[in-house]
Structure 1
Amino acid sequence: MAHQWRFFRSGGFDQVRLDQIADWQHLNELDPKLWAALSCPVKGLEFDARTMSYLDTDNDGRVRIDEVKTAVAWALSALQQPQVLLSGDELPLSAINTSTEDGQKLLASAKRILQNLGKADASSLTVADTADMAQIFPAHQLNGDGIITEELASSPELKHLITTLLALEISSVDRSGVLGINQEQLENFVADGKAFTDWQQSGTDISTVFGSGTDEAFQLLSALDAKVTDYFTRCQLAAYDASAAVPLNGAIEDYAALSRQLLSQATLDTSYLPLAHISAEGTLPLEKGVHPHWAKVLSRLAELAAAIWPAKTSINAKDWQQLKDVLQPYAEWKAAQPATKASTLEPEVLAACLNEATLQQAYTLMAQDISQQAEAESVLDVDKLVRYQRYLRDLLRNFVNFEIFYSLEKPAIFQNGRLYLDGRSCDLCLNVNDAAKHAKLAGLSGIYLLYVDCVRSATGEKKSIVASMTAGDAGNLMVGRNGVFYDPTGQDWDATVTQIVTNPISIREAFFTPYQRLGRMISDQIQKFAAAKDKDIEAKSAAGVGGAAKIAETPAAKPAAPAPFDVAKFAGIFAAIGLAIGAIGTALAAVVTGFLGLVWWQMPLALVGIIFFISGPSMLLAWFKLRARNLAPLLDANGWAINTNAKLSIKFGTKLTALAILPKGSKRTLTDPYEEKSNAGLWFILLVILVTAWVLWRQGLLAQWL
């Protein structure tokens, strides 16, 4: 018979139960459309990193459904007591399936690990036992990865070879965690070393008149060539135009500036001056009249080139080119020098590293290490099985279903900490690499999101997170507000809000939104009116002061006769004011009369109806949006592939964001000595009484009652 699956309803969708080992055994039969997620990233999760690396068999940085199925099937096949996958933090050795050859290797490797740890009598393994790979694979033992370390070297020559390559930063990390070298790295080094040796050997065939001083002459030539070429070019210009000689030499202003300094060849920078005096003759003196900075170098080069420049005290451009031609073969040889790490070694050190006997020792040791690969991989399989026994059930409850997230048993693997801000705490926080890119997709979740930059002052570490506000209101939330973020390890980070994606947070917030908008509108209008009046008064005051000054400067004129009082005009104004007051009073009278005409039990219903008439649309719209809040876009923006609409209901949202509440049994004093005192309430009550009395008088009810 087909396996009977069981489902539970949470987050607005049906989620499969995986609390029986039979569910695991038939997991490969579960329709992928019923999985909560199709894939998730390897990094950025609060989950064991080594377990995720075991799951990611193709090393593409993502874990997919097929890889999860493969991991579950392998773990079940390796155990004769598969129930241990459902609970517990340790793997009993008796649970390993020894009926197969692979199982027997697993058991033998597990016992070897315990023996290396000094726990040969233990009957179970834990994640802590396999956490330190250096204890599982000691550096002085072969471990099957093909990397040899100093500790494995059997002779001083081989150890010297390994240390030399490590000093050149040619290295790989051994399974023990120690640096070593592998066969490919050694072969590349040998090839580079032999190429450098062959290049050196080819240089012995180059003979010049300089003999042993050839390299020194080449170095001096290289140092002087640009300056000498500059000198002869200037001389050619001077020969072309005699008037150019003066400006091509050092300017008088340059020497005047130098005259005010304490001159020293070691510290003074006068390299911009010509190598020697510029003239149309175009000859470069070798002894006197040379720039002090270059004099010694040129003099030494002249000594070495005595065979080319016999008894010369000056040279021309042809002489310099002759020297360059003589050294050209050596220059070409130097240009062909291999630029490798091997070429930086001293000849005797390189020769020792390329010794055939030493290299053969290294290759033999690497082959011996690789021969242990099967046994070493069996040891790694033990570590994988231990971690699957400890963590695989948590992965399934965060991948096949979202049971851990919706049960609030503990944080889900995508929750990266807790943010405290504005009198509340947010538990739905995720790491973010690019806030702007993340917000484009995450904003579709319908959740009120805060993007926060976090910094640890002690270490200078920085990271960004996104926090979901799912309860309370957004009254004091704004960009720039500071809070504190606690990561899963308990470390605190300084947190600053950098970006906000606005969405409804709660029904309560929606209820007060119309009144807050009305209050802001009235406040803005009053401020605008006050500002306009203040500006008008300021303008009139300035005009008045200016007018007074003009009057003081001009002769006094006969005052104009006052305009006659227009009775009809003022009568019209008072009539208009009366009509406006009457209209307002009539409207108020109609409302109050209608309200007083209700039966007593209808009055509170009418008030409630008015309130809901004002707040109802906002609350209804917020209710629809809050019901549509979806976790999927938030996780998709972080690299997940969510396979369902994981809803965040209003009730569940209050569990993810906790508001500040006073502890039970607390005593509270309601008197605030610094609270602003206001008589607005008293005036409002008085206004209501007066309006009610006036309406009753107009209707004749007040006289009747009296």
Structure 2
Amino acid sequence: MSAMPPRPPIAHRWRFFRAGGVDQPRIDGADDLRALPTLDAKLWAALACPVQGLDMAPQTLALLDHDGDGRLRRPEVVAAVQWVCERLRDPGLLWQPGDALPLDALATDGEGQALRTAASALLQRLGRPPTVLAPADVAEPARLFPPDQPNGDGVVPAALAQAIDPDAVPWLERVGAAVGWMPDRSGQQGIDTDALLRCAEAVRAVRAWRAAQPEGVAAVLDAALAALQAVAAKVDDHFVRCQLAAFDARAAIALDVPLEPIQALAATTLAAGQAELVALPLAHVDAEAVLPLTQGLNPAWQAAMARLYADAVLPLLGARDHLSWADWQALRARLADWEAWRAQRPDTPVADWDEALLQAWEAQRVGERLGALIEHDRSAAALAQRLDDLVKLLALRRDLVRLLRNFVNFADFYGAADGLFQCGRLYIDRRECLLCLPVADAAAHAQLAGYSGLYLVYCHCERADQAPQTIVAALTAGDAPDFMVPGRNGVFIDRQGRDWHARVVKVVENPISLRQAFWAPYKRVARLVGEQVRKWAAAREQQVQTGAAQQVEGQAEAAAGAARKEGSATFDIARFAGIFAAIGLALGALGSALVAVVTGFVQLAWWQMPLVVVGVMLLISGPSVLLAWFKLRARNIGPLLDANGWAVNTRARIGPVFGRRLTALAALPEGAERSAADPDASRGLPWGWIIAVAVLALAALGWRLGGWASLAGS
């Protein structure tokens, strides 16, 4: 018989739960975790999200964001799941409470075994039994990567050099000071290959520059060049003036020291450094083009010229009283090579090293020794990578399941109203709002978030020790608040338990509940009536004030005018009769309509009356309630998250029942005692008596109209 073909592997049997009006995949154990890469992307709750604004350790998010673009995508989540499953013997450990990593939970082959060996070595170095690795064991870089031991990053700190080649420590410090330090994994500063190469190149450049040094004593030539550069422009100016005077004798007077500025200075207290003196010529203009070095100089320049004579003229040209044009040109030519060489000085601190250090660099093979230290550090790259993997594994052991319960599905949000994207709680208008998200730009966010169908409140939050932030909170239960925008204040409590002063800056209105929708028409009518009454009262008050002011200002004139008008005017009885007739007709029409309504109502059977009242109320409130019912069923958190940069892949609805969990209304504690008496409350209208009188009036009116005749006859 031929062998039976192998049976295809049985696919993972996925389980789903219903939440938010959609089926969401369960991620409850190791089998679900291993099979996650095979789950259809269309069934994921989200396909991408920003790493900012999530309630998760930034270090974990940085480890998951492989490309560092600030967004977490589905392939990166799948890669993290596969990475964990390859290194854990039983990935079900992620669902167990705690954040420690037992070493026996690591796989016994491949990368798992390598991690087990690295963790054992780390725990033994820390003086602990090699059984359980805790986050505290890898929290401090100096404990994870001691500075006196190689860690594989190719950066050598002084402690590592001291442990291997103590004589190289001073050179390492010189290199770091000359070309800059690099951070080591241990937390200390060190040098790497790039720094060493840059320093070696600087040493070669400085040695080549010094080999091209012109002849002469460096100290003498430096002092001479400094003295010459201090007066070069002024000396050139003097010789040009003298050459113009030789060209035309008439120019000598104009180019010499002018008399007017000196006369202006005669009445002032003079000082050698005074700006007016500095601007005067260096010496008197002479057609012979000579410059005195001791006598006849501008007082403002005597000190500088004395340094020129002592540091440049005397050592390079010899003693003399005057400086001719030829002498000046010879002096500048003598220092030109030195000036050009100085200008080519390499721009590096290595140029400050003395010649002995430059020679010792070659003689002691400093570059080779420091390079050997760097290679020795790199030799531990494999072990260091395992330690980094242990840090990553501990972070994912703590946070990966929570990420999946807010990315593959929204189990945390619908199960405990504790989504990864929620940033805290807002207390405002006697309610606690749990659905709060951080917002960068309220105006831009509201354009998309408004399609969620949620009643949204944007708040600017401030705290003394923190930078201001903006949040958006969803009101999903209760009645619509009467917010003053801007200006209504509340308190925001973030995830760390810190309280912020919250001020409402924007509101996106949508239905909150069916009760609110039912009473909304009546509230709008009451608000409209109230506004009209306030306007009428304000207008009447203004008229009264205006009339009173006019009476006070022109009482005498008003009295005389009234007397004249009384004598000349005649009463038009026909005109006023027409007005009274029109008013009577209007009142009669209103009364007839009211009588017709009341008559029809009281003629109904007693059981029909409440049905009519209910029908009228449904006629008024029905459209509003029906519209609100459709909107409440369509409330969706997707646009709210999309406005924050998420790629939500499902219609995650927020129904009325779940909405009451997201927004808690004020309620008295269970078993609390309540006294209805309020001694400071204002007395309201006696509605009981008003209703009783209205009922009696309606009954009397109906009796008169014969509405009760049939009832009495029967």
TM-score (norm 1): 0.82
Deviation at 1:619, TM superposition (A): 2.5
Give 2:180's aligned residue.
170
Judge which range, 620-629 or 527-536, deviates more: 527-536
> Is the Cα contact below 8 Å between 1:302 and 1:309 reproduced in 2?
no
Give, in angstroms, the shift of residue 139 of structure 1: 2.0
Residue 30 of structure 2 is aligned to residue 21 of structure 1: yes
Q: Is the 8 Å Cα contact of residues 179 and 195 (structure 2) preserved in structure 1?
A: no
Question: What is the DSSP-based 3-state SS (H/G/I as helix, E as strand, rest coil) of the residue aligned with 1:669?
Answer: coil
Aligned AA (1:637): A
Shift of 1:588: 1.8
- 1:232-247 equivalence runs, <5 A: none
* 2:88 aligned with 1:87: no
Change beyond 3 A, Cα 1:142–1:58: same
Which aligned pairs between 1:263-662 and structure 2 lie closer than 5 A?
Answer: 273=276, 275-277=278-280, 296-297=303-304, 300=307, 304=311, 306=313, 336-340=344-348, 347=354, 351=358, 357-408=365-416, 411-457=418-464, 459-477=465-483, 478-544=485-551, 547=554, 561-662=567-668
Range with greater deviation from structure 2 (474-483 or 359-368): 474-483
Structure 1 counterpart SS, 2:138: coil
Structure 2 residue matching 1:462: 3-state secondary structure: strand
Pairing 1:8–2:14 present:
no
Amino acid at match of 2:396: Y
CA contact (8 A) 2:551 2:558 kept: no
Give 1:502's aligned amino acid. E
Name 1:105's counterpart in structure 2.
114
Kindly tell me: are residues 611 and 334 of structure 1, through their superposed partners in 2, closer, same or farther at Cα, counting changes over 3 Å?
Answer: farther
1:211 to 201, 221, 226: 221
Residue 288 of structure 1 and its aligned partner are, at CA, apart by: 7.9
Deviations 1:482-523 (A, max 9, x none): 333222222333333333333333333323322332232222
> 1:68 — aligned with what?
77
Q: Deviations over 1:149-199 (max 9, x none)?
A: 122122455333444565679333322233333222332344345445545
Task: Determine if contact 2:214/2:341 at 8 Å carries over to the other structure.
Answer: no
Secondary structure, in 3 states, of the residue corresponding to 1:398? coil
Q: Summarize the Cα distance change of 1:304–1:91 in structure 2 as closer, same or farther, 3 Å threshold.
A: closer
Residue 526 (structure 1) shift? 2.4
Q: Could you give the per-residue CA deviations for residues 223-243 of structure 1, whole angstroms, max 9, x where no partner exists?
A: x879989x99xx99x98998x
Query: Which residue number in structure 2 is paired with residue 151 of structure 1?
Result: 159
Which residue is 2:124 aligned to? 115
Q: Contact (CA 8 Å) 1:208, 1:327: kept in 2 or not? A: no
Name the CA distance, whole Å, in 2 between partners of 1:228 and 1:536: 88
Give the C-alpha shift of residue 374 in structure 1. 0.9
**1:450 and 1:497 in contact (8 A); partners too:** yes
Task: Give the C-alpha shift of residue 702 in structure 1.
Answer: 8.1
Q: SS at 1:109's partner residue?
A: helix
State the distance in 1 between where 2:284 and 2:579 align: 107
Shift of 1:362: 2.1
Partner amino acid for 1:2? A
Q: Classify the secondary structure of the residue corresponding to 1:212.
A: helix
Q: Against the structure 1 CA distance between its residues 277 and 562, is the aligned structure 2 distance closer, same or farther, given a 3 Å change threshold?
A: same
Is the 1:208–1:214 Cα contact (8 Å) retained in structure 2?
no
Instruction: Give the Cα–Cα distance (whole angstroms) in 2 for the partners of residues 582 and 132 of structure 1.
Output: 92
Task: Write out per-residue CA displacement over residues 67-101 of structure 1, whole angstroms, 9 at most, x where no aligned residue.
Answer: 22222222222233333233243333222221x34
| Structure 1 pair 280–197 and aligned structure 2 pair: CA distance change class (3 A) | closer
In structure 1, what residue type is equivalent to 2:456?
A: L
Letter in 1 for 2:195: Q
Task: Please state whether the residue corresponding to 1:576 is helix, strand or coil.
Answer: helix
TM-score (norm 2): 0.81
> What's the counterpart of residue 672 of structure 1?
678
Q: 1:560 to 1:424 in 2, by over 3 A?
A: closer
Which AA in structure 1 matches 2:449?
A
2:693 and 2:536 map into 1 onto residues whose CA distance is 24
1:663 aligns with 2:669: yes
Alignment deviations for residues 513-539 of structure 1 (CA, whole Å, 9 cap, x no partner): 223322322222223223333444444
C-alpha deviation, 1:200, in angstroms: 5.6
How far the C-alpha of 1:303 sits from its partner, in A, is 5.6
How many angstroms apart in 2 are the aligned matches of 1:406 and 1:364? 58
Q: CA deviation at 1:367?
A: 0.5
| Inter-partner Cα distance in structure 2 for 1:492 and 1:646 | 29
Which region of structure 1 is more displaced relative to structure 2, 643-652 or 694-703? 694-703
**How far has the Cα of 1:35 moved from its partner?**
0.9
Instruction: Check the 8 A contact 1:79/1:97 in 2, yes or no.
Output: yes
Q: CA deviation at 1:368?
A: 0.9
SS at match of 1:673: coil
Equivalent position to 1:36, from 35, 45, 53: 45
SS, match of residue 667 in structure 1: coil
| Residue number among 90, 106, 122 corresponding to 1:96 in the alignment | 106
* Structure 1 residues 254-269: aligned runs within 5 Å: none
Deviation at 1:370, TM superposition (A): 0.8
**Given the superposition, is the C-alpha separation of residues 697 and 652 from structure 1 closer, same or farther in structure 2, using an over 3 Å criterion?**
same
2:658 partner amino acid: F
Out of 183, 186, 198, the residue aligned to residue 196 of structure 2 is 186
Worse-superposed segment, 591-600 or 5-14: 591-600
How many residue pairs match? The answer is 683
Amino acid of the residue matched to residue 617 of structure 1? P
Residue 561 of structure 1 and its aligned partner are, at CA, apart by: 1.3
- Say whether 1:48 aligns with 2:57: yes
The alpha carbon displacement at 1:603 in A equals 2.1
Residues 1:564 and 1:414: Cα distance change in structure 2 (over 3 Å): same
The residue type paired with residue 50 of structure 1 is Q
Distance change >3 Å, CA 662–CA 264, structure 1 → 2: farther
Residue 109 of structure 1 deviates from its aligned partner by 0.8
Tell me, yes or no, if the aligned pair for 1:397 and 1:404 is still in contact at 8 Å.
yes
Give % identity: 42
Quote the Cα distance in structure 2 between the aligned partners of 1:191 and 1:137: 31
Question: Which one-letter code corresponds to 1:575 in the other structure?
Answer: A
Distance 2:437 2:574 in 1: 75
Unmatched tracts of structure 1, length 5 or more: none
Output the CA distance in 2 between the equivalents of 1:352 and 1:519.
Answer: 97
Q: Check whether the contact 1:127–1:390 (CA below 8 A) recurs between aligned residues.
A: no
Q: Within the alignment, does 1:140 sit opposite 2:148 as a pair?
A: yes
Mean Cα deviation higher: 679-688 or 587-596: 679-688
Q: Over alpha carbons, which structure has the higher Rg? A: 2
| Structure 2 CA distance for aligned equivalents of residues 453 and 312 of structure 1 | 80
Change beyond 3 A, Cα 1:354–1:525? farther
Letter in 2 for 1:83: G
| 543 and 491 in structure 1: CA distance in 2 versus 1, 3 angstrom threshold | closer
- Give me the whole-angstrom Cα distance separating, in 2, the residues matched to 1:501 and 1:251: 79
Instruction: Output the CA distance in 2 between the equivalents of 1:352 and 1:209.
Output: 21
